Structure 1
Amino acid sequence: MRAAVLRGKQDMTVEVGRPLSALKHGEVRIAVRACGICGTDQHIYHGHPGSAAVRPPIVLGHELAGEVIEVGDGVVGIKAGDRVSVDPNIYCGACEFCRNGRPHLCDRLQAVGVTRDGGMGELCDVPAANCYLLPDEVSDVEGALVEPLGCVLHGYKKLDVRPVSTAVIIGGGFIGQLFLQLVRKQAARVAVFEPVAGKRGQLEALGADDEAAVRAWAGKADIVIECVGRRQSMELAFAVARKGGQVLLFGVSSPETEISVSPYAIFSKELRIMGSFVNPFTHEEAIALIRGKAVDVEGLVSHRFALDEVPQVMGAYPMLNVAKGVIVHGR
């Protein structure tokens, strides 16, 4: 098969004839139709870990959907011809965290597109247990973007969002726009801190307050959601939060990033600080939200790429104005 293979730091090539092993018990083989390019893919491309340690050569791509073309022994409920979205995270089921209801913190976490080949190839083998049937109303691109929406849902559910809440989202990219669509349904007001002026129109169309209101919100937010992962934006999150506020650090930073925060400010404001990691138990709900048009994911896609373009795209991605790029196989 053809696949974009990461061979090392900033070293990716499209290979033809990459071999596939025989399907294992409980696995299915998917003809990938669409695969999102995630910020985590960029972290891995530049030599950082993803949700788990990465050992090249590897085919990246953990946001994927496609058609089942073959099923292995022991597979029930899924057959050839089914369209599926993949939850990439594979848990051991035996460690302390798996056994106490927090499998996403699994000590032996594996993930499609991180520790095993993923969706940046024409074919992908995945456990059938990680496949969710897609209804006809959900497109292949939407199916690929179920995973990031599921991650956002996990973070959103940590927050206490009320009709009187004021919320600030730091970062108006793809993830920030997903949070905006969820938070605006419940909070009284939502502002998005986004330095790129060209994004203001889309953010306001999704329900964000206008730019003048944004500038007036420092220190007044009940809820702050950081979606960037940079030192300055994370420090800003603490400055923007009001007394009794909630701060969700969602953006993925590099492992070396450190921030300066006043413990006294945390104490005196009685801030509630949270992290959010991957997407436990949210994949099915994310599909339902997309199917019911409660959240728009495909309308946020800014670029569509063919498989042969992936190495060049990955190399230039930080310099491109890409809100969300998706690889469409067969494009």
Structure 2
Amino acid sequence: MTKLKVGVDSYSLKPLDLSPFELLEWAAMNEADGVQFSEVNVPPGQALDKTFLQELRSYAEENRLYVEWGGGEHIPLDLATGKAKDIAAGNRKAAEQAFHLGSSTVRSCSGGLMRWEKDSLPTDEFLRLMAAALREQKSMLRDHGVVLAVETHFEFTSFELVRLFDMCGAAPGEYLGVCLDTMNLLTMLEDPLLAARRLLPWVVTTHVKDGGLALTGDGFVSFTAEAGKGVLDFAAIFETLAAAHPKINLTVEDHGGDFLIPVNDPDFLARLPDLTVPELVRLLGLTVRTRELMDEGKLAVLPRERWPGACERRIKRDLLAVRRIVEGRPL
């Protein structure tokens, strides 16, 4: 396998309250290869202006660290009110910041939970509105040399993202792409390896996150796991990514918590029309493996409230495990 760089996402270390420079320093001290700034903890009185960003870029380059940027959005609606929202200005600002940092990507996450809300707009309507908004941003993003990387979050499946890109008339690597969050795919009822293959031409950044999938009386429950200790086939996913994108960065993102996926509800399943029986069977296989690991005491849900006390030690172990997998060494 091509030796891919392994870095850390800022959200993972949010409890440490590190400034951007402190976060880069943490990465360097812990042998991470870079940082993706999903969130930015700016010191009081400090503006994210050109000078600050260029100094941050210089510091990263001096320490041979990659920098990836965030702050983008792709749903042109206020999801709390349903009213139209201008995302163009925010995306332009994020693209300008990425340009000054020398980053060619801007992670986009609009944070919706539409499938879990019965009064939500149909998915096709979300796709139509997004396509109309994002097509208008093509020139701006290309002028800044930036790809808007839509995260595989709890909003859209891999099938729907591919349809969105087609509706936008986009080509891979042009102005729209994907931030592949490996564990979030479970929550959208997708086998992570199969989804990675479906999205492969579009992947420009990653959130490498392991997890489990438990079967309960209320449905599936997805949850995060320490890298290498969950049920995701990281070796196969990394090999797939490396073959197509030998310079892709593997950015570790981790946190606590679990999430109910109400597969017992026919209305919920109807909102995921691309789910096939073969893929569902693969997911059931992951629940069997999850149960085995949990029964053996090797896997458990880490409650979100316990993350602040666990985050730094776990992220260090995550980085080590991902690097070992990339290098083909045993965990």
TM over 0.5: no
More helix by share: 2
More strand by share: 1
